[in-house]
């Protein structure tokens, strides 16, 4: 307790008088009362008990309701790439391609000098005409052989009648023996000529393929000439190379007019814009409930603010390591288990036309498997839910 003086004015003299006043000093360091301390201790205990409980409840909730969406950032946009090559060799006389230029299916990309192939086609036409004439000559030779067979058959009949008459006269003693021998020789000769005539027919018939009434263009020699002409015409058409599909030209900077190209050698690439898919590499542990037909969301890094709809088309036949140039061999003593990734192919559902898509773009993929863990997961099984639409 401290004393404090109070100033009071004297009404007679007007002087101030000091009057002591007792004041009780309260210590600033004095603690709260026992009841207040008990309340604080109780509040701390409740807080310490509720915080772990809230964490357990929250973790359990996310575990039970989670597992439906499988996500990965190890994904890329893919487009079919076609290597463009010429099927004929020659010098380039026309080139209509440029780097990153867009083309439509059927557009002329370049032209190989067609003149040698036009000449080859003219030669094939001439060979075809000669083959057709040859068939007509074979048919005429067959007719001639048939006529000769008829003549030879008539000679045999005449020689036989002469021989019969000579034998009859010789038997009567009118004709000499030499005359009979001459008649027999003529008959034998006529028979031999008939055999030769028949062989001529067989040869002519074989030359006509066994059918004297065969159409000219059905003859093997004409068929061969027709095939040669078709090949020459095909080579001439292949001198003009067209785009097989809509796409974008790539790696064409060194392709110029005047360059000599060989048949089958890749010259540049065409990235097809009409064939687009997403290749997402999921961990093997994420594929438990994933299957074809499930819906997915795709976000490209280039267009991070836009979500694209996609559908799972197929799951890879093996891990990426299995199809590498040197597959991993784990038959060693220092083997370490590593979670593998399996490629999953997804197709985009109606990709926006205003997006400029390039093969190899990075993407984020989230697949709705339609499976949630549910409370049954605590007992070892999952619950199938209706996928979001």
C-alpha 302: how far from chain center: 25
Are 22 and 3 contacting, i.e. CB atoms less than 8 angstroms apart? Answer: yes
pLDDT per residue rounded down to tens, the chain (389 residues): 445 555 555 555 555 555 555 544 544 444 555 666 656 666 666 667 677 777 777 666 655 556 688 999 999 999 999 999 999 999 999 999 999 999 999 999 999 999 999 999 999 999 999 999 999 998 888 888 888 888 888 888 888 888 888 787 777 777 677 887 888 888 888 889 888 888 888 888 888 888 888 898 999 999 999 999 999 999 999 999 999 999 999 999 889 999 999 999 999 999 998 889 999 999 999 998 899 999 999 999 999 889 999 999 999 888 877 777 676 666 666 677 888 899 999 999 988 888 888 999 999 999 999 877 655 555 555 555 555 44
Find the DSSP H helices in the chain: 34-65, 115-171, 177-207, 220-238
Residues 6 or more apart from 328 whose CB is under 8 A from it? Answer: 321
Are 312 and 293 contacting, i.e. CB atoms less than 8 angstroms apart? Answer: yes
Query: From CA 288, how far away is CA 112, in angstroms rounded?
Result: 54
Residue carrying structure tokens 């002087």: 15
SS3 48: helix
What predicted TM-score, i.e. pTM, was given to this entire model? 0.65
Query: From CA 78, how far away is CA 272, in angstroms rounded?
Result: 10
Facing residues of 346 across strands?
278, 312
Residue 15 structure tokens: 């002087």
Q: In what order do the strands lie in the sheet with 240-242?
A: 240-242, 108-112, 90-95, 260-261
How many C-beta neighbours within 10 Å does residue 236 have? 19
Residue carrying structure tokens 């023996």: 177
Are 340 and 283 contacting, i.e. CB atoms less than 8 angstroms apart? Answer: yes
Query: From CA 77, how far away is CA 276, in angstroms rounded?
Result: 7
Burial class (CB in 10 A: 0-12, 13-18, 19+), 88: buried
**DSSP string computed for 187-233:** HHHHHHHHHHHHHHHHHHHHHTTT-TT--GGGSHHHHHHHHHHHHHH
Query: From CA 58, how far away is CA 43, in angstroms rounded?
Result: 22
Work out the angle at residue 354's Cα, subtended by the Cα atoms of residues 352 and 355, and round it to the nearest 5 degrees.
Answer: 75
Query: From CA 280, how far away is CA 374, in angstroms rounded?
Result: 27
SS3 349: coil
């Amino acid at each position: 307790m401290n004393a404090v003086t109070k100033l009071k004015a004297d009404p007679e003299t007007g002087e101030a008088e000091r009057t002591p006043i007792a004041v009780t000093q309260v210590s600033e360091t004095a603690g709260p009362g026992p009841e207040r301390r008990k309340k604080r201790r109780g509040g701390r205990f409740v807080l310490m008990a509720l915080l772990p409980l809230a964490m357990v409840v929250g973790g359990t909730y996310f575990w039970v309701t989670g597992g439906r969406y499988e996500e990965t950032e190890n994904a890329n946009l893919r487009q079919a790439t076609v290597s463009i090559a010429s099927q004929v060799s020659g010098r380039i006389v026309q080139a209509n391609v440029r780097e990153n230029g867009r083309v439509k299916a059927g557009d002329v990309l370049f032209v190989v000098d067609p003149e040698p192939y036009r000449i080859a086609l003219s030669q094939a036409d001439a060979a075809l005409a000669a083959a057709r004439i040859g068939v007509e000559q074979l048919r005429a030779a067959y007719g001639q052989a048939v006529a000769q067979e008829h003549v030879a058959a008539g000679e045999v009949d005449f020689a036989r009648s002469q021989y019969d008459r000579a034998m009859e006269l010789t038997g009567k003693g009118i004709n000499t023996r030499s005359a009979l021998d001459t008649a027999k020789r003529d008959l034998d000769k006529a028979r031999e000529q008939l055999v030769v005539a028949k062989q001529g027919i067989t040869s002519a018939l074989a030359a006509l393929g066994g059918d004297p009434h065969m159409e000219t263009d059905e003859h093997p020699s004409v068929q061969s000439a027709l095939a040669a002409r078709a090949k020459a015409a095909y080579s001439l058409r292949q001198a003009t190379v067209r785009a097989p599909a809509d796409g974008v030209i790539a790696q064409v900077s060194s392709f110029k007019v005047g360059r000599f190209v060989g048949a089958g050698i890749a010259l540049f690439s065409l990235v097809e814009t009409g064939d687009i898919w997403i290749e997402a590499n999921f961990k093997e542990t994420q594929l438990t409930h994933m299957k074809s037909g499930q819906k997915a969301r795709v976000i490209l890094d280039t267009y991070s603010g836009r979500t694209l709809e996609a559908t799972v088309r197929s799951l890879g036949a093996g891990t990426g390591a299995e199809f590498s140039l040197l597959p991993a061999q784990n038959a060693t003593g220092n083997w370490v288990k590593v979670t593998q990734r399996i490629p999953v192919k997804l197709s985009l559902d109606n990709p926006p036309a205003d997006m400029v898509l390039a093969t190899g773009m990075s993407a984020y993929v989230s697949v709705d498997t339609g499976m949630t863990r549910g409370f049954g997961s605590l007992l070892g099984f999952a619950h199938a839910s209706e996928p979001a639409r």
